[in-house]
Amino acid sequence: MTALTRGAIPAADRVVVKVGSSSISGDNAHRIDTIVEALAAAHARGTEIVLVSSGAIATALPFLQLEGRPTDLATQQAAAAVGQNVLMWRYQTSLDRFGLLAGQVLLTAGDLEHPTPRSNARRAMERLLGLRILPIVNENDTVATQEIRFGDNDRLAALVAQLIGADALVLLSDIECLYTRPPGEPGARPIHTIEAGDDMQGYEFGTVVVNSVGTGGAATKVSAARLAAASGVGVLVTSADLVADALGGREVGTWFAPAAVARPAPTGPVGTVAAPRR
């Protein structure tokens, strides 16, 4: 099978898109409409789309009259319960313009680490996609604890891409592409393509807290991108503002070329090989 290229993303059968808290919460909540428009256009082309969306806790902050992300676990869990409800309502309201229906999928790390819940999660996602429903995935922060967390939703998105046999993963961030060092530093150069097996030693990627509403940064995206690319999933890292360009196959962002590996076909609900997606 020929490895997917950045320009071939519009022709991909199945794509996972991940967006972070800072891109869709607070003053940036309007970006939900921009993201949904791009997802709807890809869906209309026949691509099966899965959205991994952070933002539940950040979305809840103004409703709970909190000035920043809570530090205690109980309040984080309560905020996640409130915010997830509001976040799904915002997505569905935006999707209504295109006649699309969302399906909420909340996962914990244990769901993907153990065979039975992993199989159940795959089966549910396959059925949602078969019904042409847009799965919206998030970590189940209401029940997750520090000991059983994914760490960040970039990693969750990479694991979901592996789980459902996605062709491509698009990690949306606040900058257009990755740089050889933090972009504000002298000598920082944009990185356009990273081939499978490229030596990235010497690059400096930072992990930061973004706007006090979520954790992330270039290092988490690089780690998640390499995890997915090693399993044969092409990965594009770019700005949330460029989501339409990313899904349209334009030359934006940083492309992690997928490794040439044999990928098992997704299985249907009863363990049989699923029919071709197109």
User: Nearest-CA neighbor of 225 among 216, 49, 146?
Assistant: 216
What domains can be seen in the chain, in order of their start residue?
A: 6-256 (3.40.1160.10)
Segment 162-206, tens digit of pLDDT: 999 999 999 998 889 999 888 878 888 999 999 988 877 767 776
Mean per-residue pLDDT of the chain: 87
**pLDDT greater than 80 at residue 271:** no
Tell me: is residue 221 an annotated ligand-binding position.
Answer: no
Tell me: is residue 94 an annotated ligand-binding position.
Answer: no
The percent of residues in the chain predicted with pLDDT above 90, rounded, is 65
Give the pLDDT band of residue 264 (cuts 50, 70, 90): low
Structure tokens at 100: 């699309």
What's the average model confidence in pLDDT over 69-83? Answer: 91
Supply the pLDDT for residue 98. Answer: 98
Rounded to whole angstroms, the Cα distance separating 7 from 29 reads: 29
Determine the Cα angle at 42 with ends 21 and 171, to 5°: 30
Element (H, E) at 230: helix 218-230
Supply the pLDDT for residue 24. Answer: 94
Rounded to whole angstroms, the Cα distance separating 168 from 10 reads: 10
**CB–CB of 140/25 below 8 Å?**
no
Supply the pLDDT for residue 146. Answer: 57
Task: Please list the alpha-helical segments (H only) found in 96-166.
Answer: 109-113, 115-130, 153-164
Give the N- to C-terminal CA distance of the chain in Å, as an integer: 16
User: Nearest-CA neighbor of 20 among 190, 203, 208, 234?
Assistant: 208
Element (H, E) at 137: strand 134-139
Give the pLDDT band of residue 8 (cuts 50, 70, 90): very high
Tell me: is residue 174 an annotated ligand-binding position.
Answer: yes
238 or 143, greater pLDDT:
238
Segment 12-52, tens digit of pLDDT: 999 999 999 989 998 999 999 999 999 999 999 999 999 99
**pTM for this prediction:** 0.89
Segment 105-150, tens digit of pLDDT: 999 888 888 899 999 999 999 999 999 999 999 998 888 665 445 6
Tell me: is residue 153 an annotated ligand-binding position.
Answer: yes
Supply the pLDDT for residue 169. Answer: 98
Give the pLDDT band of residue 275 (cuts 50, 70, 90): very low
Supply the pLDDT for residue 259. Answer: 93
The percent of residues in the chain predicted with pLDDT above 70, rounded, is 86
Rounded to whole angstroms, the Cα distance separating 214 from 130 reads: 32
Length of the chain: 278
**pLDDT greater than 90 at residue 266:** no
Q: Helices 153-164 and 218-230: crossing angle, nearest 10°?
A: 10
Tell me: is residue 141 an annotated ligand-binding position.
Answer: yes
